[in-house]
Structure 1
Amino acid sequence: MLVYHNPLHQGHAPAHEFFRGERVPCFESPARADHVEASLRAWGCSLLAPDVDSTPVLRQVHSERYLKFLEGAWQQWLALAPGNASVQPFPSVWPVRTLRSDFESDNFIARLGLYSMDNGTPLASGTWAAVKAGADAAASAAARVAGGARAVFCCTRPPGHHAGPDFMGGYCFINNAAVATQALRNQGASRVAVLDVDYHHGNGTQSIFYHRGDVFFASIHGDPRTEYPFFLGHADETGEGEGSGCNLNLPLPAGTTAAVWFEALERACTRIAGFGADALVVSLGLDTYEGDPISRFALASADFCPMGARLAQLNLPTVLVLEGGYAAAELGINAVHVLDGFEQA
Structure 2
Amino acid sequence: MKAIVDDRQAKHDPKHFMANGVVLPNPEQPARVEALIRGARAAGCEFQAPTDHGLGPIAAVHSSEYLVFLKNIYTRWQRIDGAAAEVIPNIHPDRREASYPKSAVGQAGYHQADTSCPIAEHTFESAYWSAQTAMTGANLMLAGEQSVYALCRPPGHHAFSDLAGGFCFFNNAAIAARYLASQGKRPAILDVDVHHGNGTQGIFYGNDEVLTVSIHAAPERFYPFFWGHAHERGEGVGLGSNLNLPLPRGTGDDVYLQTLDKALERIQAYGCDVLIVALGLDAYENDPLKGLAVTTAGFKRIGAAIAALGLPMLLVQEGGYLSAELGDNLTHFLQGAEGQ
Category of TM-score, reference length = shorter chain: over 0.9
Deviation of the 1:135 alpha carbon = 0.3
Q: Which amino acid aligns with 1:127?
A: T
- Alignment-derived partner of residue 214 in structure 1: 209
Deviation of the 1:205 alpha carbon = 0.2
Matches within 5 A, 1:289-308: 289-308=284-303
Q: Give the counterpart of 1:287 among 271, 282, 286.
A: 282
Does the 8 A contact of 2:73 with 2:87 survive in 1? Answer: no
* Residue 183, structure 1, aligned to residue 179, structure 2: yes
Does the 8 A contact of 1:35 with 1:328 survive in 2? Answer: no
Q: Which amino acid aligns with 2:327?
A: G
Does the 8 A contact of 1:143 with 1:183 survive in 2? Answer: no
Does the 8 A contact of 1:216 with 1:246 survive in 2? Answer: yes
Matches within 5 A, 1:79-98: 79-81=79-81, 87-97=85-95
Deviation digits for residues 20-67 of structure 1 (CA, Å, limit 9, x no counterpart): 221111111011111011222344432111114151111111111001
SS at match of 2:57: helix
Deviation digits for residues 3-28 of structure 1 (CA, Å, limit 9, x no counterpart): 00132122100122112221111111
**Counterpart Cα distance in 1 of 2:313 and 2:43:** 20
Does the 8 A contact of 1:146 with 1:188 survive in 2? Answer: no
- Alignment-derived partner of residue 13 in structure 2: 13
Deviation digits for residues 245-264 of structure 1 (CA, Å, limit 9, x no counterpart): 11000011111121111111
Q: Aligned in 2, Cα 1:296/1:47: closer, same or farther, shift over 3 Å?
A: same
- Alignment-derived partner of residue 173 in structure 1: 169
Does the 8 A contact of 1:139 with 1:179 survive in 2? Answer: yes
SS at match of 1:282: strand
Matches within 5 A, 1:159-308: 159-189=155-185, 191-308=186-303
**Counterpart Cα distance in 2 of 1:53 and 1:30:** 23
Structure 2-normalised TM-score?
A: 0.96
Deviation digits for residues 108-144 of structure 1 (CA, Å, limit 9, x no counterpart): 1111000011121111211000000000000000000
Does the 8 A contact of 1:120 with 1:171 survive in 2? Answer: yes
**Counterpart Cα distance in 1 of 2:54 and 2:328:** 29
- Alignment-derived partner of residue 57 in structure 1: 57
Does the 8 A contact of 1:27 with 1:326 survive in 2? Answer: yes
Aligned length: 340
Q: Aligned in 2, Cα 1:50/1:157: closer, same or farther, shift over 3 Å?
A: same
Q: Which amino acid aligns with 1:249?
A: N
SS at match of 1:274: helix
**Counterpart Cα distance in 1 of 2:76 and 2:106:** 12
Deviation of the 1:90 alpha carbon = 1.2
Deviation digits for residues 76-106 of structure 1 (CA, Å, limit 9, x no counterpart): 112334x75x722210110014x85342x22
Deviation digits for residues 165-192 of structure 1 (CA, Å, limit 9, x no counterpart): 1100000000000011012112220x21
Which runs of 5 or more structure 1 residues have no equivalent in the other structure?
Answer: none
- Alignment-derived partner of residue 4 in structure 1: 4
Does the 8 A contact of 2:216 with 2:247 survive in 1? Answer: yes
Structure 1-normalised TM-score?
A: 0.95
* Residue 133, structure 1, aligned to residue 134, structure 2: no
SS at match of 1:162: coil
Deviation digits for residues 264-318 of structure 1 (CA, Å, limit 9, x no counterpart): 1000000100110011100000100000111221111111111111111111111
Deviation of the 1:210 alpha carbon = 0.8
